[in-house]
Chains A and B, each alone.
Chain A
Amino acid sequence: GAVVSQHPSWVICKSGTSVKIECRSLDFQATTMFWYRQFPKQSLMLMATSNEGSKATYEQGVEKDKFLINHASLTLSTLTVTSAHPEDSSFYICSAREGGLNKAFFGQGTRLTVV
């Protein structure tokens, strides 16, 4: 099956710093990637839809200036959490859809802890 690689798998950062998370589709081209956040014992919540070559579409309540998304190529999308605060600590997961298939493949997730 298609492989989506996410990096880093975990990161600890100080409050006020920025963290960049990468999501790569390894064996297919993904015009669309999705970024989710999952708090403990909760469901995955879609944060934004990343579109190659255009601006990301953010879900209601997600600050686009805080969560910067760049989808510069068909195989890479990045999520930057700017000026991170402890409440941003969460599990961030990306997914990508392969071509015309209606299935999503997930990255391994990034566990962010802001101290």
Chain B
Amino acid sequence: RKEVEQDPGPFNVPEGATVAFNCTYSNSASQSFFWYRQDCRKEPKLLMSVYSSGNEDGRFTAQLNRASQYISLLIRDSKLSDSATYLCVVNRVTDKLIFGTGTRLQVFP
């Protein structure tokens, strides 16, 4: 079983739609959680950290459920420019980042 699992998608949604991605992690020692965005043939870029209390950044909302060991990302009012692969990432303090395989999002007009 992979340490970080994501549905690879693709998720095809129209502009303006709300879309949610989930991610599960298997190591309960994981302490930090992130969502990264990766465009085709580019490096990953940090989208947002995920905090236990949940956090929001504009149209993006991230949630963490430690008891169930899952993380979610909600994107409201999808834009064409949101089309990318979204990577769920977990980290044990001072340890390496573990990446999920990513969920591909395609927003169409």
Query: Could you say which of A6, A44, A46 has the most chain B C-beta atoms within 10 Å of its C-beta?
Result: A44
**B44:A102 contact, CB within 8 angstroms:** no
Q: 1/0 contact trace for A80-115 toward B, CB 8 Å?
A: 000000000001010100000011111111010000
> Contacts of A103 on B, CB cut-off 8 Å?
34, 46, 49
The 9 closest A-B pairs by CB, nearest first: A106-B43, A43-B101, A44-B99, A109-B43, A43-B99, A102-B32, A46-B96, A108-B43, A93-B43
CA distance A43 to B87 in the complex (A): 8
CA distance A93 to B45 in the complex (A): 12
Chain B interface size, under 10 / 10 to 19 / 20 to 34 / 35 or more? 10 to 19
Which of B42, B96, B99 has a CB less than 8 Å from the CB of A109?
B42
Contact yes or no, B96 A34, CB < 8 A: yes
A-B pair count, CB < 8 Å, reads: 42
Q: How large is the interface on A (under 10, 10 to 19, 20 to 34, 35 or more residues)?
A: 20 to 34
B17 at the interface (CB under 8 A from A): no
Closest to B4 in A: A43
Cα distance, A111 to B102, chains bound together (Å): 19
The reply to whether the CB of A75 lies closer than 8 angstroms to some CB of chain B is no
A95 to B44, CA, bound (A): 10
